[in-house]
Structure 1
C-alpha cells in the first residue's frame, strides 16, 4: 500500500500525520484512553515516558569523534539559534502575557510558542541539505544540533530570557536521559548503533500521544498564524544564522539558511514545559499547534531557499567553482615547474 512512502512525501510526515491522527481521536473520541485503559491508555497518554526513551536514543547517536572545524561550525549555529530565540522571547514578553494572546488574529500566540519554534533546528533536514549544497564539515555540524532536541534547551532559553525559573533538579532531570545515552553511545560503538535505530522509530509514537492533547478547534484557530510564525522563524533566525556563519564560522552562509527551520521535536516542548511550569499551561495547546504548523512551513520553504543561496553564494556559485578550480590547478602547476 506504500503507506510509509506517502507519509514521507509530506514534510515532517512522521511527526505531522500521527499528530493529526491523535488530534482526531481526541476531538471525536476524547475518552478512548480511559475507556480501554491498560496499554492502549499508555500509548495515548504516555508522552513523557516515550519522549524520555527518545531523548536517550538521541544522546546515544552523538559521537565525540568530530573534527574541531565541525565542532566550531555546529557550536556557532547552535549557540546563535538559542541566543536568537532568547532575544525574540524577551522582545515578545514586552507585548505578550504569559498565558498568550486571547483575542484577534494573534489569538494563541505566546512567548512559549515563539521560543519553541525558533529554538530547535530540523537537524535531519539540515544534514540532507548540507550533503547536497554544502561541505562535509557543514554536514557534520549536525552533531551538536541534537542538543537542541527536547525541552532542556528551551528551559535554558527561558531562563536566559528571564521568563521562567526552573529548579536545578528539573533541569538535570530533563537532560539526564540524554547524557546517559550519550555516555553509553561513546563507550561502545555497538550500543550507539543499536540505540540510534530508536531515534526514528519513536517519533510517530510520541507524536500520536501529543496529538491527543489537541483538538481541531485549536488547530483551525492557529493555522494561518502558524504560517506567519514559520515565516518568522526563517526570516529572523535565518538572518542571524547567515551572518554568524559568514563572520564567525567563516562559511558562505549556506549552513545558516539550512539551519533556519523548526524541528519536529519542537512540537513536544510546549506540553512538557507546561507540565513543569504551570504558568505556561494555558498557552501550551495553542503553542503546540503553532509549532506544528511552523514545522511544515519551514520544511517546505527552507530547502528551496538553501538551494537558491548555494547557487548564488555557495558551493554551486560560479565564484566558488572558479576558486576550487584554481586550487586544483596549483598542485599541477607546481609539479610542472619542477
Structure 2
C-alpha cells in the first residue's frame, strides 16, 4: 500500500491527515487518552514535548554558511513577512475583541489566529517553487526561513503590539531548544545530519497530538472563514513581499509570491501560546482550526499564483540538486 505517497499528495498531508484523524478521535471520544493512559495518552496529548524535540532538531539542521545573495534574499523575505504580520496585529487589535469575534460571519476569528497564519512561511514550498521559477540562490533562501519556526516570533509580535505580556524567561524557554540544537548542529556536522533526519519523522506525531486540541465541529464552523484567512494571507503578505523582493532582494517579485504561504508548523502556535499565556486559551481551538485551513488554502493557491506571475516576469530555471533538497524541506511544513 502506498500510504505515505497518498498522504503526500495532499498539501501538508504528513501533518494535516494525522491532525484530522486525532481531531476525529477527540470529537467522538474526547476521553480516549485518559482511558488508555500510559504511552497512548502521551502520544495523544503530548503536543509540547513532541514539538520541543522537533524544534531542537530543526535548529540542528540549519547551516548558516551561505552566500551573501542567499542571506540577503532570505533575510529580506523573513523580515518583511514578520513586519507585515506585526502591522496587521496592530490593526486587528483595534477592531477584534480580546477573546475573538463571537458571532456572525467572522465568529472564531482572533488576532492570535491572524498572526499565527501570517508570520511564518512554508520554506519547503517556497524552495520547490523557486527551484522551478527562480535562481539557485533564490531557492537557497529557504534556509533562514527555518528561523521562523516555533512560537517565538508570534509571541514577539503579540507582545510588541500590546496584546499580551510574556515574562522574559518565557521567550527564552520558547527558543532555547532551537538554539541548543542550532549550536550542536553547527559544532558537529555529524550531529546536524543525525538530528536533521528526525525533523520529517516527527511531523505526523505532533500533527496527531495537535488534533487532540480540535473538535471537528470547530473546523466545520470556521471552514469558510479559514479559506478567507488563507486568501488574506496571500494578498496581505504577498504584496509587501513582492515589493521587498524587487527593491531590496534584487529579484523580480516571484520570490515574494512564493513566500506568501502559511507554514504548516504555524498550526501548533495557538496551543503553545495559550499554554504560556492562559489569556489566549478561549481562542486557541478556533485559531488552530483557522490556521490549519489557511495552510491548505495557501499550499494550493500559492503555486498557481507563482506560476502565473513567473510566466509573465521570469524564465524557468531548473536545478535537480536543489529540487531534491526542497522536496525534503517541504516535509517539515515551515
Q: Report the TM-score range of the alignment, normalised by the length of the smaller protein.
A: over 0.9
1:253 and 1:314 in contact (8 A); partners too? no
Q: Is 1:30–2:20 an aligned residue pair? A: no
2:64 and 2:144 in contact (8 A); partners too? no
Q: CA deviation at 1:162?
A: 2.2
1:16 and 1:292 in contact (8 A); partners too? yes
1:273-315 deviations in Å (ceiling 9; x for gaps): 1111111111110000000000000000000111111111123
> Residues of 1 paired with 2:110 and 2:92: CA distance?
8
1:270 and 1:287 in contact (8 A); partners too? yes
Map 1:249-268 onto structure 2 (within 5 A): 249-268=249-268
3-state SS of 1:94 partner: helix
> Residues of 2 paired with 1:162 and 1:148: CA distance?
21
Q: Is 1:272–2:272 an aligned residue pair? A: yes
Map 1:108-119 onto structure 2 (within 5 A): 108-119=108-119
Q: CA deviation at 1:89?
A: 0.9
**TM-score (structure 1 length as normaliser):** 0.92
Which structure's CA Rg is the greater one?
Answer: 1
Q: CA deviation at 1:164?
A: 1.6
> Residues of 1 paired with 2:138 and 2:275: CA distance?
36
Q: CA deviation at 1:68?
A: 1.4
1:102-127 deviations in Å (ceiling 9; x for gaps): 00010000000000000110011111
1:331 corresponds in structure 2 to: none
> Residues of 2 paired with 1:132 and 1:188: CA distance?
32
> Residues of 2 paired with 1:215 and 1:154: CA distance?
23
> Residues of 2 paired with 1:102 and 1:314: CA distance?
45
1:98 corresponds in structure 2 to: 98
Q: CA deviation at 1:159?
A: 2.0
1:147 and 1:153 in contact (8 A); partners too? no
1:40-75 deviations in Å (ceiling 9; x for gaps): 000001000000000001001110211111111111
2:73 corresponds in structure 1 to: 73
> Residues of 2 paired with 1:98 and 1:248: CA distance?
36
Q: Is 1:201–2:201 an aligned residue pair? A: yes
2:47 and 2:209 in contact (8 A); partners too? yes
Structure 1: gaps of 5 or more residues: 322-338
Question: Relative contact order (C-alpha < 8 Å, sep 6+): which is higher?
Answer: 2
- Cα RMSD after superposing both structures: 0.9
Map 1:209-248 onto structure 2 (within 5 A): 209-248=209-248
Structure 2: gaps of 5 or more residues: 318-334
Q: Is 1:18–2:1 an aligned residue pair? A: no
3-state SS of 2:165 partner: coil
